[in-house]
Homo-oligomer: A and B are copies of this chain.
Amino acid sequence: MITIASDFGSVYPAAMKGVILQETDARLVDIAHDLPRQDPRGAAFWLRFALVEFPPAVHLAVVDPGVGTDRRPIVLRAGEHALAGPDNGSLVPAARALSEGAIDAYEIEIPDPASATFHGRDVFAPAAAWVHEQGVDAIESIDQLSAIESYVDLTLPDPDISGTRIEGEILVVDGFGNAITNIPGSAIEGIGRCLVNGEAIPVVETFEAVDRGSALVTVGSHGYVELDVNHGRGDERFGIEAGDSIELTLAEENER
């Protein structure tokens, strides 16, 4: 199985699929092709979210603002999984979540010719196909891969929690406008209300617990605190976007 993710939008992903299917008859599964554009950190969040659900697979994931520069094309081996993409950190949180132990890294030799702008098709898709065909256990035997000592790390930021005050950050905004923070759901367990940047907002378990058009704080299926609007867009309601910091002040249930 090969999963495929990118920020390429339409048509370009099909070219990657054609290249892969020249080499292997593996099952292909699309993760998404509208990952946050040219944003390795946003991509890292979504890749970790989705890839941890999969059985052992090769994961091709290309959010690559540095394509054509000297950033390295890499494969990370994480347990029975392998991830192919640019060495910009976007693969790392998913690799860490998929691995029981160490992550091994390999640099992909760039074929000649390769376009300067579409390594997804010309570099990463063939590499994913080779790893699938050889098998993750035989990754060392693939001529076009060379073991490397280090890779660009990326850690999604932790919030700063002191008592009832939490300083966090918006990691991504999903397609519905839900603004997803880096604050773990456990931080608001049992809380009925909180101040979001100073404004009191109910903390609820489901969107329908508030009126349509009303703001809410909830814990998303990814396990993180989200700022949302029932039948609306949280990002617009709160005037926030990915990368913005956010301050929550918790109130106890009985203060609600």
Which A residues lie at the B interface, using CB under 8 A? 1, 3, 5, 9-12, 14-15, 17-19, 21-22, 25, 27-32, 34-35, 37-38, 46, 49-55, 65-69, 115-118, 121-122, 174-176, 205-209, 218-221, 223, 231
Contacts and interface: CB of A to CB of B under 8 A. Distances in A.
A206 B50 contact: no
Contact of A51 (B5, B18, B37, B121): B18
Given A37-B176, A38-B231, 12 more contacts: A3-B14, A15-B53, A15-B221, A17-B53, A66-B206, A68-B209, A115-B219, A116-B206, A117-B205, A117-B206, A117-B218, A117-B219
Q: Is the interface of A mostly helix, strand, loop or mixed?
A: loop
A175 to B, nearest CB: 4
Contacts of A52: 18
Number of copies: 3
Contact of A32 (B14, B18, B53, B231): B14
27 contacts: A1-B21, A9-B174, A9-B176, A10-B34, A10-B175, A11-B35, A11-B46, A11-B174, A12-B221, A14-B29, A14-B50, A15-B49, A17-B54, A18-B29, A18-B51, A18-B55, A21-B54, A22-B54, A38-B231, A53-B121, A67-B206, A68-B205, A68-B206, A116-B206, A116-B218, A117-B205, A118-B221
Contact of A208 (B37, B65, B218): B65
